[in-house]
Amino acid sequence: MNVKEYYNKKSGYGVSNARILKVIELAGELKNKKVLDIGCGNGRLGEELKKFGAIVHGCDISESALEKAKKVLDKAVYLDVESTDWAEIDNDYDLIIVSELIEHLFQPAVFLDKIKKYLTSDGELIITTPNFLMWTLRLRMLFGQFEYHKTGFWDEGHVHFYTYNSLKKELSANGFYVTEENHIYHPKIPCLIAGLRPQLFAYQMIVKVKRKNRVMYTTIFGNKDKLMEPKHVSDNFDYICFTDQDFKSKVWQIKKVAPSHKDPARAAKIYKILPHKYLSEYEYSIFADGNLKVQGDLNKLIDQYLDKKNMATFDHKNLYDSWDCIYEEAKQCIRLTKKGSYKDEPELMQKQVDYYRKQGYPERNGLISGMILVRKHNEADVVKTMEDWWKEIEQWSRRDQLSFNYVAWKNNFKFVYIPGDSRNNEFFKHHLHLK
């Protein structure tokens, strides 16, 4: 029996009233929402969603089930999610429902990655799947009972088995975070008790998730820093480290890349300055130097400081070694280099600021502390400013603080300063470089 025959044979199995109710509760306001039900079967769930004003499309591998679905849904098409073209599927759904499907997929990660393309920017996904480690199943397995059946928890078509924690881990690893849960619990356990331990008492897990559109990232090249695990992890963020080192982490996604420059500082800065090229799938990004440890909830940085501007950073004048001028920055960098703390070639830094002075750039026009950058990095004004900033770093000194305020002035780029000390605040804590 091939896959198509298997699902045609199963097309008679319906969706329970309990699951329909839980999904509708989780979906929230449905009026005029465009919904895709993947694995819609005969369309019963979608038919109920339409009663609340939703526009419902469905897709399924079972042609016999689709014949029924076409009669009740706004659109119903054939789709084998793992092997056929998705050409007939629209790419602007407010809500996608994947009910009792993910456990049947050979490559759920590929499916979850693909599904992002069919959601609107603020779209949501509802997934339902059996809880493989519900308490009754644990007892049965403890006594050696595990047999496949035609339907149910041990359906012969299940190729993945999910627990409460492994489902969340799968979703997070593929760019989603859970916003709400509305599980179906074992009927013999009171809901108030069952809700405290869904790992044990949920027999059908039902979660609503959104695509992660926020990323915290860092760059470490040339063995300059060790990668520090965040003290606080926000579920709606991905954590990414671009590096040429062999780091291991439970939180950070390690993106090992070959250095693009012989100079480790410039190799790191290309990712720092140009997130629109390397992290375009995210709407918001927070960059922090490799010697800063994440301390607090990074959502506050975005929600408080990117409401009116597309970039925020800390002000250098709030540091203990404070000044607010790129000319003073150059002077101090040259002084430290001559004392043995190398920053860059003194002649190059002096030539750079002399050029800026000739361009009319004023003194004491502000100076960023470039170790933390908060950006809506795909916005046009940010992209233009970052591209120009990178050109300055390639042409002149690798000390990016020498050039940013000049580039912002030249582009009339507006950004906001975050109050406080960039080295020690509620979000980050500074540590010394390894070398």
- Residues 204 and 251 occupy one common structural domain: no
Q: What is the pLDDT of residue 151?
A: 61
- Residues 168 and 279 occupy one common structural domain: no
- Residues 307 and 248 occupy one common structural domain: yes
Q: Is the pLDDT of residue 426 over 60?
A: yes
pLDDT digits (tens, 9 = 90+) for 302-339: 999 999 999 999 999 998 888 999 999 999 999 999 99
pLDDT digits (tens, 9 = 90+) for 240-280: 999 999 999 999 999 999 999 888 889 999 999 999 999 99
Q: Does residue 108 sit within a domain? A: yes
User: What's the rounded Cα separation, in Å, for the pair 232 and 150?
Assistant: 44
In single-letter form, the type of residue at position 193 comes to I
Q: What is the pLDDT of residue 119?
A: 97
User: What's the rounded Cα separation, in Å, for the pair 238 and 241?
Assistant: 10
Which is more confident, 109 or 192? 109
pLDDT digits (tens, 9 = 90+) for 189-211: 777 777 778 888 888 999 999 99
Nearest to 428 by CA among 216, 198, 258: 216
Q: Does residue 334 sit within a domain? A: yes
Q: Which residues contact 169 (CB under 8 A, 6 or more apart)?
A: none
Which strand (E) or helix (H) includes residue 428? strand 428-430
Q: Does residue 79 sit within a domain? A: yes
User: What's the rounded Cα separation, in Å, for the pair 73 and 133?
Assistant: 35
Phi-psi region of 364 (alpha: psi -120 to 50; beta: other; left: phi over 0): left
User: What's the rounded Cα separation, in Å, for the pair 239 and 285?
Assistant: 10
In single-letter form, the type of residue at position 312 comes to A
CATH code of the domain covering residue 255? 3.90.550
Q: What backbone torsions phi and psi does residue 69 show, to the nearest 5 degrees?
A: -65, -35
Tokens of 63: 């042609």
pTM: 0.87
Q: What backbone torsions phi and psi does residue 25 show, to the nearest 5 degrees?
A: -60, -40
- Residues 177 and 222 occupy one common structural domain: no
Other Cβ atoms within 10 Å of 58 Cβ, number: 28
Average of per-residue pLDDT across 53-70: 96
Q: Of the candidates 144, 179, 211, which is a domain's last residue?
A: 211
Q: Does residue 95 sit within a domain? A: yes
Q: Is the pLDDT of residue 432 over 70?
A: yes
Q: Of the candidates 183, 211, 239, which is a domain's last residue?
A: 211
Q: What is the pLDDT of residue 434?
A: 83
Per-residue CA distances from 86 to 4, 102, 121, 209 (Å): 17, 17, 19, 22
Q: Does residue 319 sit within a domain? A: yes
- Residues 188 and 146 occupy one common structural domain: yes
- Residues 95 and 206 occupy one common structural domain: yes
pLDDT digits (tens, 9 = 90+) for 341-390: 999 999 999 999 999 999 999 999 999 999 999 999 999 999 999 999 99
Q: What is the pLDDT of residue 190?
A: 77
DSSP SS3 for 81:
coil
Domain that holds residue 134: 3-211
Do the beta carbons of residue 6 and residue 27 sit within 8 Å? no
Give the number of domains in the chain: 2
Pairing of strands 428-430, 292-294: antiparallel
- Residues 189 and 228 occupy one common structural domain: no
Query: Exposed e or buried b for every residue in 161-187, given b needs 16+ CB within 10 A?
Result: ebbbeebbebbbebbbbbeebbbbbbe
Q: Of the candidates 174, 194, 211, which is a domain's last residue?
A: 211
Q: What is the pLDDT of residue 237?
A: 97
Q: What is the pLDDT of residue 1?
A: 43
Q: What is the pLDDT of residue 31?
A: 97
Q: What is the pLDDT of residue 156?
A: 66
- Residues 207 and 219 occupy one common structural domain: no
Q: Strand pairing partners for 211?
A: 176
- Residues 91 and 231 occupy one common structural domain: no
- Residues 194 and 53 occupy one common structural domain: yes
Q: Does residue 435 sit within a domain? A: no
Q: Does residue 69 sit within a domain? A: yes
Long-range contacts of 306-310 (CB under 8 A, 24+ apart): 306/374, 306/375, 306/376, 308/416, 309/414, 309/415, 309/416, 310/375, 310/376, 310/379, 310/381, 310/382, 310/415
- Residues 222 and 202 occupy one common structural domain: no
Q: What is the pLDDT of residue 150?
A: 60
Q: What is the pLDDT of residue 203?
A: 82
Which strand (E) or helix (H) includes residue 171? helix 164-173
Q: Is the pLDDT of residue 29 over 50?
A: yes
- Residues 171 and 61 occupy one common structural domain: yes
